[in-house]
Structure 1
Amino acid sequence: MRQTPAPPPGLATPLQFLRGVGPQRAALLEKKGLSTVEDALFFVPLRHEDRTRLTPLRALQPGQTATCAGTIVGLSPPPPGRARQPFTVMLRDESGHATASWFGWRYLARALKRGQRLVLHGKVARYRGAIVLQQPDWEVVEGGEDERLHTGRLVPVYSLTEGLGQRALRALMWRIVEQFAGQVAETLPDAARARRRLVGLARALADGHFPQTEAALAAAHRRLAFDDFLLLQLGLAILRARTTRARGLSLAPRGELVARLRAMLPYRLTAAQERVWDEIRRDMAAPHPMHRLLQGDVGSGKTVVAALAVLTAVEAGYQAAVMAPTEILAEQHFVTFRDLLEPLGVGVTLLTSALKPRARAAARAALAAGEAGCAVGTHALVEQGVAFRRLGLAVVDEQHRFGVEQRARLRGKGEHPDLLVMTATPIPRTLALTLYGDLDVSVIDELPPGRRPVVTVTRAEAKRREIHAFIGAEVAAGRQAYVVCPLVEESEALDLAAATDMARRLGEEVFPRLTVGLLHGRLGVEEKDAIMRRFKAGEIQVLVSTTVIEVGIDVPNASVMLVEHAERFGLSQLHQLRGR
């Protein structure tokens, strides 16, 4: 019986069946999400190192990372019985001599020979008076300049997993690109590529891994980024089309609850709030689901507008859910919505993972029975056991911290409920349309009257005494201050230790006559609430905190905030902090 010959390798070929891979290395590649040749082609490097500029051996300086070339004039393996000592190679070029050394050297004794020309890249040190390249990448120059892989070019650096070395992965990627990049089909029409001056996809993949020049690498990145954004926009367009075709809830009550809340407020809405509320109200009355992004600076009044939307849903006979990214923000929203809605007879419940089992069960029961018109919580709102009697509105605060899937899971708790997502992070309109193309955008571009602009300055450690003196003067004038400690390597325990130490030093050494409070993420809801109330009441003059105050606390009397190690915060976090 004749056997059918195996098809030639192609893009769908499992990596396991490529030369030099095998089952063991394929399992390591699988950990990086690489199963097929096509997966590997689209696994672009983290970065490229420029190893094209050769430094003469005589010009090497300790402490620098350099690329150099030289001829092997001597090899010195460790003496017998001393395998832990380095393998040393003596090099010479037109300018002088240098040494390279490696630990784990056994394969080098077979690969390197006297008279070979090497190109090396690594860290330079001085050892016993001699210049030494320590553990450098290396390559024997034989087949011409174009065949260099690890040195003498823009060298790709890939994301690795344990057991998978950079040189081995780079060599595998070289073979894959050489053999298969040309098989990748073009996805864009020629006219579209010409209009946008984009290189072909096959060329972009080849140059994205092993470019000959910086310009080729930039062109590859531009094409691959275009494809990523095109796929994102197609996905968002599909979502938007589904939304506009879907049947939603037409929430158009008489507006009595909204009118009563507006009458209770001690201020009038700004013109921007009125405009945005009109857009939201019309969306909620429409027969298809609302998908709207509400953007506004800290203090612009987004929460009040969201409360009007919640009351509209409740008056129409539905429930509303408000989801926040952190427990502290959820707790603060709970207090705000409770104070606004409960005087109108609307029940508000809090649901977070920090609640005790009995309280969590009671909150879930109230939602399932329809006894609570508004639920405020964290990711706990989208857990499997949470059910709403009639969810009509989902509000997501700090939109940039949630993915599309989490938004969808919250909306999945009802039958096509309206969706309102909010953010205080300033997003340029073009970027908002790019990232959130499935959403209509409303912007509150006006602050309530009387809010003064925030003055932001940076100060060096040498100015700490002046900073403390300024804080002391503000407190003496009857104001209050925040001191914010940074996140320490995502560790809540280290966070707490840093903030606790700061509070102790300020209270004992810097401001011994003032009351210094401490607020951190491990405190319970009641403890946090008590500290916040004391701070608002003026009983605490200086509040030391981890980033739990990034959102949620509003104390108008606080006039100064000291942010320690501001470089450890993101721009969005700093913007939130400036709005406190």
Structure 2
Amino acid sequence: MPSDTDLNKQSPYKEILSPVSSLKGVGKVITRELQKRGVQTVYDLLYILPRSYQDRRKFIPIHKIKSGDAALIKAKIMEIKRLRFRYRPVLEMLVGNEYGIISARWIGAIQHLYRFKKGDNIILYGRFRASPKKMLETYHPEIIKDGNEYEIGRILPVYPEIGGISQRRIRRIMMDAISRFIPNFEDPLPAMIREPRRFLELGAAIKEVHFPSESRLEDLRIRRSPAHRRLIFDEFFMLQLTLALKRSRTSRQRGIRFEIQGIQELYNFLPFKLTGSQASVIHEIITDMSRPFPMNRLLQGDVGCGKTVIALMAAWLAVRNGYQAAFMAPTQLLAEQHYLSTLDLTQKMNLRVALLTSGMSNRANEVRDGVKKGTIDILIGTHALIQESVKFHKLGLVIIDEQHRFGVAQRAILKQKGTRPDVLTMTATPIPRTLGLTLYGDLDISVIDGLPPGRKPIQTKLFHERDRGKVYEILRKEIERGRQAYIVYPLIEESGKMDLKDATNMAEKLRDIFPDFHIALIHGKMPLDQRKGIMEKFKKGLTDILVSTTVIEVGINIINATIMVIENAER
């Protein structure tokens, strides 16, 4: 049998996995900048794809250029002027030919332009606009020098910004990589898959996407060229292959097999009857937990549909089998809400629940000690749950709310605090079925697709600033009916950098506008106990309008709050 070394020598990827520093023109500085972008090898570099393309296939006569066009022109320098603009040097060239004259300007570092003189021929590429002088002008056009003829007569790539490396330098490095490594590159995708779909070979696709020769410019710009189609297919194919392998490994792992006898007792704790959709979802979860393999399920449903109750039912089953559950939420306020809103139900279920967030300096050690000793059944919290100091006695179920708000590594750390625990992730973000299967192919997906009886559908309306009076009138009428309202702002305090309304100042103005209503302010910089008190008053109906920042952005559920005004919603 060949050794690992022999296999490595035989690998079609061996050469293309060479360090990026092996390329011509890539010294220490450029290597460092590329590494900041995650580029370690030639292979990594080739997958930094152009963000756009420039059409330099032919020179455009000046009289045919329209304002807003990007064009390649060849002309003679008619006049050179050295000017100043706001204390900065400016060099202006008037260049022209038999078709007309344009103004080209460079501001700032212009020393490299001093070598040009009146009468010189020059090739420029830039974007042009109409000037007040009734001629076209362009700022900082690119000058194509002698020896750079490869930059004309073709479509050129434009790459993302990489640490100040010029486009010209990146193109030269790419050309070296393609000429040296692509000719011998072996396509990992078999011909039996490629040919029926008319896919380019991978090497040809990489070359074509960087330096197009046959593709239509519009297809390149909208990522619909044959080269892009091949690379897009590969990306989805590798994603699906990775998810399939991950799912296969998970299904072969030995997990916790929870006993579900006496499960009917669980339903007796609920203060309401489950909807058909809720009952179906909890059945799927319980079935998963009864199997000897780790559960890996995503639960999707709108705010207020009952996801938290479903999660608690799963936690009850874990605790009943002698295990603990961890419930991680993305924000401190949401974690606090989960804790406070479930206290009544968890007490009925005889579950010992604790809260752990970064703002709990006083009781944190006591909570961590209880989790380690097993005297706490369910730990609800934020990122604080993944701290090294948090050690579970016997973690059997991990619940992650708004799972897309956490990184892969953060979710993995929490799972590693148990021995192959079951995992239930939740989201209120609607996910189309096909997209869900694509992105979450390693997960089983459950959907609560209906709201509890009597819950009305949400209406969303957009108002212009000039209609602010109408918005306040709607607020007034709703509160006079005994309801409550949120008003959400993008900032806590006024900012000199952004022209946006802030919660602190607007709370004072709103008290003048609505003197008969009780208005409270809440934001993430307040101490935990103060926020708890404010939310508790709002929950009890003692506050009419809660002015907040986006600290309440996900999952906050106060049934009597029937209206939410979001200022600067585009933010």
Could you tell me how far apart the structure 2 residues matched to 1:343 and 1:558 are?
Answer: 26
Looking at structure 2, the residues matched to 559 and 41 of structure 1 have their Cα atoms a distance apart, in angstroms, of 52
1:342 aligns with 2:344: no
Q: Which amino acid aligns with 2:365?
A: A
State the SS of the aligned residue for 2:338. Answer: helix
Aligned partner (choices 437, 440, 449) of residue 453 of structure 2: 449
Letter in 2 for 1:344: M
Structure 1 residues 154-176: Cα deviation after superposition (integer angstroms, max 9, x where no partner): 54232321x42333223332443
Structure-2 change in CA distance of 1:53 and 1:449 (3 Å): farther
Aligned to 2:510: 506
**Residues 143 and 468 (structure 1 numbering): CA distance in 2 closer, same or farther, change over 3 Å?**
same
* 1:551 is aligned to 2:554: yes
Write out per-residue CA displacement over residues 334-363 of structure 1, whole angstroms, 9 at most, x where no aligned residue: 11333321233221111122211x421111
8 Å contact from structure 1 (residues 11, 183) kept in 2: no
Question: Partners of 1:512 and 1:55 in 2: how far apart?
Answer: 67
* Structure 1 residue 498 displacement after superposition: 1.3
Change (3 A) 1:488 1:139: farther
Match of 2:242 in 1: 235
What displacement does 1:395 show? 0.8
SS at match of 1:203: helix
- Normalising by structure 1, we get a TM-score of 0.86
Distance change in 2, residues 1:452/1:471 (3 Å): same
After TM superposition, the score normalised by the length of structure 2 is: 0.87
Could you say which residue in structure 1 is the equivalent of 2:170? 169
Q: Secondary structure at the match of 1:250?
A: coil
Aligned residue identity for 1:76:
I
Q: Distance in 1 between matches of 2:328 and 2:59?
A: 56
Partner Cα distance (1:388, 1:396) in 2: 16
Matched, 1:527 2:534: no
Alignment correspondent of 1:330: 335
Q: Which of 416, 423, 428 is the matching residue for 2:427?
A: 423
- Residue range with higher mean Cα deviation, 132-141 or 388-397: 132-141
| Aligned match for 1:294, one of 295, 299, 302 | 299
**AA paired with 2:407?**
G
Q: C-alpha separation between the residues in 2 aligned to 1:524 and 1:505?
A: 24
Given residue 403 of structure 2, which amino acid in structure 1 is its aligned partner?
Q
Once the two structures are superposed, residues 550-570 of structure 1 have per-residue CA deviations (whole angstroms, 9 ceiling, x without a partner) of 2242222222211112222xx
Contact 1:488 1:494 in 2 (8 A): no
Q: 219-228 or 493-502: which moved more?
A: 493-502
Higher mean alpha-carbon deviation, 189-198 vs 114-123, is at 114-123
Give 1:14's aligned residue.
19
| Alignment partner of 1:45 out of 50, 53, 58 | 50
In 2: Cα distance, 1:157 partner to 1:49 partner: 11
1:361 aligns with 2:362: no
CA-to-aligned-CA distance 1:306-342 (integer Å, 9 cap, x gap): 1111110111111111111111111111113333212
After superposition, residues 96-175 of structure 1 pair within 5 angstroms as: 96-102=100-106, 103-110=108-115, 114-122=119-127, 124=129, 126=131, 131-140=136-145, 147-148=150-151, 153=155, 155-161=157-163, 163-175=164-176
* Cα distance in 1 between the residues matched to 2:500 and 2:551: 11
Q: 1:480·1:560 contact (CA, 8 Å) conserved in 2?
A: yes
Equivalents in 1 of 2:523, 2:556: separation in Å?
A: 13
| Alignment check: 8 A CA contact 2:330 2:382 kept | yes
3-state secondary structure, aligned to 1:186: coil
Q: Deviations over 1:262-314 (max 9, x none)?
A: 33433100111111111111111111111111111222111111111111011
Structure 1 residue 528: Cα displacement: 1.7
Q: Deviations over 1:30-82 (max 9, x none)?
A: 222233322221111334456779765457677x4632513123352749xxx
Question: 1:496 Cα deviation (Å)?
Answer: 11
Aligned counterparts of 1:121 and 1:525: Cα–Cα separation in 2: 56
SS in 2 for 1:38: helix
- Closer, same or farther: CA 94–512 of 1 in aligned 2, 3 Å: farther
SS in 2 for 1:268: coil
State the alpha-carbon separation in 2 of the partners of residues 284 and 262 from structure 1: 17
Contact 1:532 1:553 in 2 (8 A): no
For 1:219-258, what aligned pairs fall within 5 Å after superposition? 219-255=226-262
Count of matched residue positions in the alignment of Structure 1 and Structure 2: 546
Contact 2:255/2:420, CA 8 A, preserved across alignment? yes
The reply on whether 1:190 has 2:195 as its aligned counterpart is no
Cα RMSD after superposing both structures: 3.1
- Distance (Å, rounded) in 2 between the aligned partners of 1:196 and 1:283: 38
Q: Distance in 2 between matches of 1:108 and 1:170?
A: 22
Q: Which residue, out of 269, 275, 278, partners 2:280?
A: 275
On the 8 A contact 1:370/1:390 being kept in 2, the answer is yes
3-state DSSP class of the match of 1:183? coil
Matches within 5 A, 1:83-94: 85-94=89-98
Which of these residues, 387, 393, 401, is aligned with residue 397 of structure 2? 393
Counterpart residue number, 1:181: 182
Shift of 1:92: 1.1
Distance (whole Å) between structure 1 residues aligned to residue 257 and residue 564 of structure 2 = 45
The CA distance in 1 between the partners of 2:502 and 2:413, in whole Å, is 36
Secondary structure class of the residue paired with 1:555: coil
Q: Secondary structure at the match of 2:457?
A: coil
On the 8 A contact 2:256/2:293 being kept in 1, the answer is yes
Q: Answer whether contact 1:49 1:157 (CA < 8 A) is retained.
A: no
Deviations 1:89-129 (A, max 9, x none): 32113431112122423333447884524132136474777
Structure 2 regions of 5+ residues with no counterpart? 1-13
Distance 2:402 2:58 in 1: 46
- Which string of whole-angstrom CA distances, capped at 9 and with x for unpartnered residues, describes residues 355-384 of structure 1? 11x421111100000000000111221222
Match of 2:99 among 92, 95, 100: 95
Q: 1:67 to 1:152 in 2, by over 3 A?
A: farther
Residue 76 of structure 2 is aligned with which of 72, 75, 91? 72
Pairing partner for 1:30 from 27, 35, 55 = 35
| Alignment CA distance shift 1:413-1:125 (3 Å) | same
Measured in 1, the distance between the counterparts of 2:122 and 2:110 equals 18
1:425-455 deviation digits (Å, cap 9, x = unpaired)? 1112221121111111111122110011111
Mapped contact 1:351–1:376 kept (Cα < 8 A): yes
In structure 2, what is the Cα distance between the partners aligned to 1:59 and 1:543? 59
**Which piece of structure 1 moves more, 34-43 or 236-245?**
34-43
- Judging by fraction of residues, say which structure has more helix: 1
Percent same amino acid at aligned positions? 40
- Corresponding residue of 1:284: 289
Structure 1 counterpart SS, 2:490? coil
